[in-house]
Amino acid sequence: MGCFYLKQKKLDIVLGHMDEKIDKIKDYIDPRIRDYMKSLYSILSVSIHELDEETSKDYYETLKAIIDMQLEYEFTEEEKNESIKEIFRSNNENKEKYSRK
């Protein structure tokens, strides 16, 4: 998720520790899960390298929930941004229409 946001938002790619990458992208992460990003990365890193399959499955629901929350946040924020643009677009059109009179 971190590398995705670094690339998508055209942020400077940090070659250092994951903590630095998380700090770069924190403004794009759902505030409800922002504080858990370091733990999430740790779980994924350990899971890939050290945990057995059964233990990894135990983390699945947590990881899925976090990913789902982030996706929901992305779409919700996008919808809010579009709504705001529409409000201002409509407001500007009304200003133009009434200022001509």
Percentage of the residues of the chain whose pLDDT score is greater than 70 = 80
Of 12, 42, 33, 35, nearest in space to 24 by CA:
12
Look at residue 62 in the predicted model and tell me its pLDDT: 83
Please name the amino acid found at residue 55. T
Average pLDDT, the chain: 78
Lowest mean pLDDT among 2-11, 17-26, 30-39, 61-70: 2-11
For residues 6, 63, 32, 78, the Cα torsion angle rounded to the nearest 10 degrees is 50
Alpha-carbon distance of 14 to 21, in angstroms, equals 6
Looking up tokens 């009434």 gives 98
| Single pTM value for the model | 0.56
